[in-house]
């Protein structure tokens, strides 16, 4: 079956002009996740912000109640007792100057990066490498902290960082096709709630404009804002 035929088949039964309740959308998306691998369930939110303005930047972290279904590799910049604490907490990579040297060489074998505050002098010099990959530790999302144990636990347990893109869109994986419908619905609502709470002061008018849900290979399905508690997202 060619990609175009698969795409057409998967789109059957999905009305592109209709907004479905989150429960209906999840059912449609799961039914069309027919690839030979466990597809990621992806959420896309169009926001009424212009991230070019500092007071309209949307950034935060959402702890999904049912996890993401992904096994994240976590790197921690720390020294001494905090480095030992990180290793005991399950960090995949722990280091300081040596880890920074690896990153500068392009050896980025991790999905989440955490740092203790005293390491930011070293980590700060890696901004050009980690920044574009959305891996730069930031105190606003709990990845610059002395509590490395809980930061590692959150990262591996389903904490998802989000940051609005240039076009005003926030995207995130909120589960796997193998999850139950109820688990995906819970994750979607939790993520939307986190984005709502991250509304910046500079956002005016309609904040949350459109939400869509899809699987890795499946069609996008519009989600009714009211079904996820975002219907009144205006100033």
pLDDT of residue 9: 57
Averaged pLDDT score across all residues of the chain: 92
Residue 234 has pLDDT above 80, yes or no: no
| Domain locations along the chain | 15-68+159-228, 74-157
Instruction: For residues 80-103, give the mean pLDDT.
Output: 97
pLDDT of residue 235: 43
CA atoms of 102 and 180, how far apart (whole Å): 39
Instruction: For residues 30-38, give the mean pLDDT.
Output: 95
pTM of this prediction? Answer: 0.79
Read off the pLDDT of residues 38-87 as tens digits, 9 standing for 90 and up: 999 999 999 999 999 999 999 999 989 999 998 889 999 999 999 999 99
Helices (H), the chain: 3-11, 22-31, 80-88, 97-104, 120-123, 127-130, 148-157, 181-197
Cα distances from 217 to residues 9, 135, 178, 229, in angstroms, run 12, 26, 14, 27
Report the range of poorest mean pLDDT among 4-8, 107-111, 126-130: 4-8
pLDDT of residue 157: 85
pLDDT of residue 232: 53
pLDDT of residue 12: 72
Residue 6 has pLDDT above 60, yes or no: no
Tell me the CATH number for domain 74-157.
Answer: 3.40.50.790
Higher pLDDT, 8 or 159: 159
Question: Given its phi and psi angles, is residue 130 left (phi above 0), alpha (psi -120 to 50 degrees) or beta?
Answer: alpha
CA-based nearest residue to 154, from 114, 97, 188: 114
Read off the pLDDT of residues 207-225 as tens digits, 9 standing for 90 and up: 999 999 999 999 999 999 9
Tell me the CATH number for domain 15-68+159-228.
Answer: 3.30.190.20
CA-based nearest residue to 172, from 83, 30, 45, 77: 45
């Amino acid at each position: 079956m060619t990609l175009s035929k698969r795409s057409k088949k998967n789109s059957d039964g999905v009305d592109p002009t209709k907004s479905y309740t989150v429960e209906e959308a999840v059912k449609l998306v799961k039914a069309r996740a027919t690839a030979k691998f466990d597809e990621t369930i992806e959420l896309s939110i169009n926001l009424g912000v212009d991230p070019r303005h500092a007071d309209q930047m949307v950034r935060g972290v959402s702890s999904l109640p049912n996890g993401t279904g992904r096994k994240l590799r976590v790197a921690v910049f720390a020294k001494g007792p905090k480095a030992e604490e990180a290793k005991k907490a399950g960090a995949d990579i722990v280091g300081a100057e040596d880890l920074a040297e690896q990153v500068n060489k392009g050896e980025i074998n991790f999905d989440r990066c955490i740092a203790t505050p005293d390491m930011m002098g070293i980590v700060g010099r890696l901004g050009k490498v980690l920044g574009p990959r959305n891996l730069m530790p930031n105190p606003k999302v709990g990845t610059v902290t002395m509590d490395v144990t809980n930061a590692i636990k959150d990262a591996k347990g389903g904490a998802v960082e989000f940051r609005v893109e240039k076009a005003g869109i926030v995207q995130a994986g909120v589960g796997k096709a193998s999850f139950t419908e109820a688990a995906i619905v819970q994750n979607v609502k939790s993520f939307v709630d986190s984005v709502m709470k991250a509304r910046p002061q500079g956002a005016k008018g309609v904040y949350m404009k459109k939400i869509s849900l899809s699987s890795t290979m499946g069609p996008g399905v519009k989600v009714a804002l009211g079904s996820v508690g975002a219907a009144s997202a205006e100033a």
